[in-house]
Amino acid sequence: MHALTFDHFGPADVLRWTERPDPVPGPGQLLVRMQAAGLNFADVYRRNGNYHLSGAAPWVLGYEGAGVVEGGNDPLFPAGRRVGFADMPHANAELVVVDRERLIPLPDDIDADTAAAVLLQGLTAQYLVSDSFRVQPGDVAVVHAAAGGVGLLLVQMLKALGAVVLGVASSEAKRDAVITAGADVAVGYDEWVSATKALTGGHGASVVYDSVGRTLGDSLAVARIGGTVVFYGMAAGDPAPVDPRLLMDRSLTLTGGDLWNVLTGAEVRRERAAALFEQIRNGVLKPCIAARFPLRDGARAHAYLESRAAIGKVLLTL
C-alpha cells in the first residue's frame, strides 16, 4: 500500500507519498480500505513536532476517515461494510488498521466524504455545546475561527440550541460563511472584543470557544462574570499563562476540551455519531467541504490549510 509519510519535522514539503507494508490487524482490530480522510490542524501540529505522535519515523498522520472493511468475518463489520472513525492513528494511508470499538457503522445516506468531514470535528462541536459547557437558550456565545471545520458546525449547533452567536473570522468571505451558518454577528479579529461588548451591553458573553490560543487573555476579558471560556486548540500558538486570581475575581471558569476524554467506549462513540448523523439528516447541520485533495498530494492540502484560506473542512481522498 501507499501512505503519506514524513521522517523529520518541518513545513508541508516534508510529506512524501511512499510505499509501506500493508498493516496487519491484531486482536480486536479490522482492516479498512480508505476512501476519504479528514485533515485537521492537529496534523499540522504533529508535522511541526509540537503535538503527540503515534509510532516512530517515518510517521503517518491522520486520525479520522471513512472507507470499507477489507476482509474478515466480523458479524457487525463484515467485508464491504461502510465505516468511519474519528480517533485512530495512521489514517493517511490506503489501508488502516482500526480498533473494532472505534469503528462507526455508516448509514446508507451518509457518504464517505460526509463522514470524513464531520466525525472528528462534529463530535468535537457536539461535546463543546453539551459537555464543556451546557448551552441554554439565550446564552451569548463567541466562537473563534468560526469559519473553520469545527467553527461552522459549532455555530450551527449553538443556533439549534437557541444561543446568540458572535463568530470571529479573518476575512469577509469567511464572515459571510459564518452568517450563512446562522451566526447573529460575524466580525474580524480587530473588532471582536468591542463587538462582544456591544452585543451584550457590556455584560460579556456566557461562553467563549477559543481554538486560537493567543486570544485566550481577551477571551477571558470578554466573558461575563460567572462566564466560561472553553480552550480547545492553539491554531495561532500557545496562550500566555493565566493568573488564577483573574478567575477568582470574576468567578470565571476556564476549561479545556479534548475529544479523546469524551469518546470513552464503543457505545458512547456510536451513540454520539448517530446523533450527529441525525442532525445532518434533519438539516440542522450542513457540512461545508472547503476542498478535496488526493491523499498523494497531502503536502498541497497541508499548505492550503495553513494558508487560512479554507472555509470548512479539507478532505484527503483516495
Per-residue pLDDT tens over the stretch 20-29: 999 999 999 9
pLDDT in tens, 38-81: 999 889 989 999 888 888 999 999 999 999 999 878 999 999 99
**Strand duo 205-210 + 223-231: pairing:** parallel
Which domains does the chain carry?
2-119+261-317 (3.90.180.10), 137-256 (3.40.50.720)
pLDDT tens profile 241-258: 999 999 999 999 999 988
pLDDT (tens digit, 9 = 90+) per residue, 98-127? 999 999 999 999 999 999 999 999 999 999
pLDDT one-digit tens code per residue, 191-206: 999 999 999 999 999 9
